[in-house]
Structure 1
Amino acid sequence: MSDANHARRTAVYLLDQVLGEGRLLAECYAAGALEKLAPEERARAQRLAVETLRGLERADRILKKHLKKTPPLMVMNALRLGTVELCAGGAAHGVVNAMVAIISKHRRHGQLKGLVNAVLRKVAEEGPAEWAKLRIPRLPNWLRKPLVQAWGAEAMLGIEAAHFAGASLDVTGKPGADLSALGGEGLPAGSVRIASAGQVSALPGYDAGDWWIQDAAAAMPARILNAQAGEIVLELCAAPGGKTMQMAAAGAKVTAVDASEPRMARLKENLARTGLAADLIVGDALEQRGQYDAVLLDAPCSATGTIRRHPDLPQAKDGSEFGQLIELQAQLLAHAWSLVKPGGRLMFCTCSLLPDEGECQVEEALEMFEDMAADRGALQIAGVEPEWITEEGGLRLRPDYWPERGGMDGFYMALLRKSA
């Protein structure tokens, strides 16, 4: 099997795991799904899986007219991947033959290679023209419904357009680092956006540790918290560490806590590459003690704000875990507040589009703690529009914001000050 077919076969496997087993792509990668592939094959398999998930609705609409009944999932996923490749301009001969070869070698479904050949040949003829006419793929109803309720139908279309377009690479630079060699666009809030990055580790300044990958929206909480040199700062749920590095680069004395040992290992590697320092603790955020000038809590959440980067999320999940996450966020916020010194501040944030994981959490905390106040003024950094500041005093970011620049991840954040 050719290198390209190894990548395609792995991509089909990844689709099987997401759409059949409800596993996220990150879980598949951590379990070693890509470890037998060469770096180029690995990148290709990831790209094919992500592009297929992003265009899943369109692929299914095109395939429906050519299928009398839905084939087994593995065969259906091969057809989906082939359809997305063909409609993106892939060479018909190569794509069709590759998917036929993959199915023909399958122990249970090999007899369906003729179906795959016939369907994909029809798709090669008609699919590209049909693809361009189809609507932008919509989120599954379990997620779309609450988001339409929160932001309205028109905003939802903009959010889904941003999801379908995908995301560029955003980086945060160390203070004083010259990032001009990256050839990216400087964003108002201070990040640099690179439209076509290629291999990240080959980019200028990577080995020197001049920058790290961090979506522009994800970089805003630490910018708003504005940790100062010499301040004693705690970050809870810290890995993989973009915010830790921002605060360490500002000269703060940072303690970073995360429950995941593998994710904390990534944070340690990132610190080593960038030449920055922080105290790292693998442990439960709810068990931390002490008093800090500032605390940053990036609480575990639905991650619904990151779908333009992770189109597997709405396909693998069904929202059933949201209740537990919302309860945990409230516990973490209350505990984090107990760790803030009088006169200190807490940055609470989540990469979620759901108000229950953002606006509602802060609204309830403000009612619960008499010594807590939301600092609206601190939110007015470059690139933030006044209408993004919410009623309770937080900042709501959405993927449909900055459309002319390629959007941003969905995020909620609030800077909460403790009375002296």
Structure 2
Amino acid sequence: MADESRSMAVALLDAVLGEGRLLSQALADLPHDAPPSERARAQRLALTALRHLERAERLLSPHLRKAPPLTVRNVLRLAVVEMAVEGAAPHGVVSAAVDLVRRGRRTQHLAGLVNAVLRKVAPASFDRMPAQRMPMWLRQPLVRLWGREVVAVIEAVQAGVPPLDLTAKPGATAPGEALPTGSFRLTHPGQVSALPGYDAGDWWVQDAAAALAVQLLAPAEGEAVADLCAAPGGKTLQLAAAGARVTAVDVSEARLARLRENLARCRLSAEVVAADLLDWQGGPFDAVLLDAPCSATGTIRRHPDLPFVKDGSEIPALAELQAAMIDRALALLKPGGRLVFCTCSLLPEEGEDQLAAMLARHPGLRVERPEIAGAEAGWVTEAGGLRLRPDLWADRGGMDGFFMVRVRKP
């Protein structure tokens, strides 16, 4: 692997672990003239390091008398996961790490340290270590909810490279294993745009858990449906493919550009609106799908940077925003219309508690229990919501964590 890929991977780790930036933000700062293959490999290496940071630290700490500068530590972490997870030859990894440190004016004097430490670590013990734990602000409430064994399985799933899930148009098919709920799953997909059916627009990328929200809504052909907070558009595509007349609303014009691209590739149509939901005037609609902004704690298996840039302090403000959006979404419905509210969060404040508060604020609402092919009975909560967790289908690679519920307006 070219040293440029390693250098960019270290820069990504510095941004996440040193500056508290999301990986998606840091990726925009990588050199634009770097070959796409090197940028992609840098991203993959950074993701791997973030998924196994705790294990890497356990191997490195006994050989470090004091903490080196962040960039040097990230070079060491990256080298450890290359050897232990990627299976790269130790000699080449150590040589490249030393060269990378030697190139920096502020780090070159630590090249000898990097060489000595990496020659002492024992990557063979890596797999015997427990999976990386979630931060305590997230782990503790989940242990109280589901117990330590469930949380340990969630963490084990989050340590693995997630599979790629696809949703196919009705009547079409997609590559991969057919899942019980109708999605298709690929473990080693390669380049997505090279997969069969991509150019024909037969399918789109969408986690199997996320795809259940539209199945829960059960749109009928010709219905007027609003997809709120719609970008990047997986649910919009599902709704349009079902024959609904879709209005897709999102506050981000940049993210809506991707939604429009997906609609065009899949030869589907929807009205696309860039607006703040709380100010937007629309409807009335037969049905509304609200995938509200949330902590995204259910997506750590795909976004391992999240635990390092969030501390839970944003949850109360997000819960308040979600409640306001729920009220606005209900106001957009026709009498007798239905709303599906969902969040990709593991926390009850953004799921089960929101449902209880919604019912208290709107006494006439009626929860309609899920009837989804392939969904297991244990996924349904006492109140009639659908609680999805990463440990479900653990032997298949898991799924994103979601809460979703369908309510009927009086």
1:220 paired to 2:225: no
Please name the residue that 1:303 is paired with: 296
Pick aligned residue for 2:181 from 182, 189, 192: 189
What letter corresponds to residue 360 of structure 1 in structure 2?
D
In proportion to residue count, which structure has more helix?
Answer: 1
**Deviation larger for 296-305 or 221-230:** 221-230
The code of the aligned residue for 1:334 comes to D
Of 286, 306, 318, the residue aligned with 1:313 is 306
Aligned position for 1:394: 385
* SS of 2:159 mapped into structure 1: helix
- Per the TM alignment, residue 370 of structure 1 is displaced from its structure 2 partner at its CA by 2.1
CA distance in 1, matches of 2:338, 2:99: 59
Contact 2:173 2:203 in 1 (8 A): no
Question: What root-mean-square deviation, in Å, do the aligned CA atoms of Structure 1 and Structure 2 show?
Answer: 1.1
Matched residue, 1:96:
94
Using the alignment, how far apart are the partners of 2:31 and 2:315 within structure 1? 29
1:40 CA drift (Å) = 1.2
Counterpart in 2 of 1:282?
Answer: 274
1:242 and 1:300 map into 2 onto residues whose CA distance is 15
The equivalent position to 1:46 in structure 2, one of 43, 46, 49, is: 43
Per the TM alignment, residue 373 of structure 1 is displaced from its structure 2 partner at its CA by 0.7
Q: 2:34 aligns with which of 37, 48, 54?
A: 37
Cα displacement string for residues 241-262 of structure 1 (whole angstroms, at most 9, x for unaligned residues)? 0000000001111011111111
Which residue identity does 2:165 align to in structure 1? Answer: D
1:260 to 236, 248, 252: 252
Q: Is the 8 A contact 1:375 1:416 kept in 2?
A: yes
Give the superposition deviation at 1:178.
Answer: 2.9
Q: 1:34 Cα shift?
A: 5.5
What displacement does 1:101 show?
1.2
TM-score where L is the length of structure 2: 0.97
Share of identical aligned residues, percent?
58
Shift of 1:107: 2.1
How far off its partner does 1:33 sit? 2.1
Q: Give 1:118's aligned residue.
A: 116
- Aligned: 1:106 with 2:97: no
Deviation of 1:297 (Å): 0.2
Does the CA-based 8 Å contact 2:330-2:339 persist in structure 1? yes
Match of 1:157 among 147, 152, 160: 152
What is residue 368 of structure 2 aligned with on the other side?
375
- Superposition pairs for residues 121-270 of structure 1, below 5 Å? 121-123=119-121, 126-127=122-123, 129-179=124-174, 182=175, 184-270=176-262
Q: Give the Cα separation in 2 of the matches to 1:108 and 1:296.
A: 52
The one-letter code matched in structure 2 to 1:132 is D
SS in 2 for 1:371: coil
Structure 2 partner of 1:56: 53
Instruction: Report the residue type matching 1:185 in the other structure.
Output: E
Partner-residue secondary structure (3-state), 2:165? strand
Q: Which runs of 5+ in 1 are unaligned?
A: none
The CA distance in 2 between the partners of 1:280 and 1:35, in whole Å, is: 30
Q: Is the 8 Å Cα contact of residues 205 and 234 (structure 2) preserved in structure 1?
A: yes
Task: Determine if contact 1:5/1:102 at 8 Å carries over to the other structure.
Answer: yes
- The partner residue of 2:401 within 391, 401, 410 is 410
State whether residues 255 and 281 of structure 1, in contact with CA within 8 Å, keep that contact through their aligned partners in structure 2: yes
CA displacement at 1:84 relative to structure 2: 0.5
Q: Is the 8 A contact 1:397 1:411 kept in 2?
A: yes
How many residue pairs were aligned?
408
Within 1, Cα distance between the matches of 2:351 and 2:32? 37
Letter of the aligned partner of 2:4 in structure 1? H
SS of 2:209's partner is helix
TM-score (norm 1): 0.95
Letter in 2 for 1:102: L
Which stretch has the larger CA shift, 293-302 or 34-43? Answer: 34-43
Secondary structure of the structure 1 residue equivalent to 2:391: coil
Which residue number corresponds to residue 337 of structure 2? 344
Give the whole-Å Cα distance in 2 for the aligned partners of 1:220 and 1:144: 25
In structure 1, distance between residues paired with 2:32 and 2:322? 34
Q: What SS class does the counterpart of residue 338 from structure 2 fall into?
A: strand
- State how far apart, in whole Å, the 2-side matches of 1:71 and 1:282 are: 46
SS at match of 2:181: coil
For structure 2, the residue ranges without an aligned partner over 5 or more in a row are none
**1:26-60: CA deviation from partner (whole Å, max 9, x where unpaired):** 1112x332533212112111110000000000000
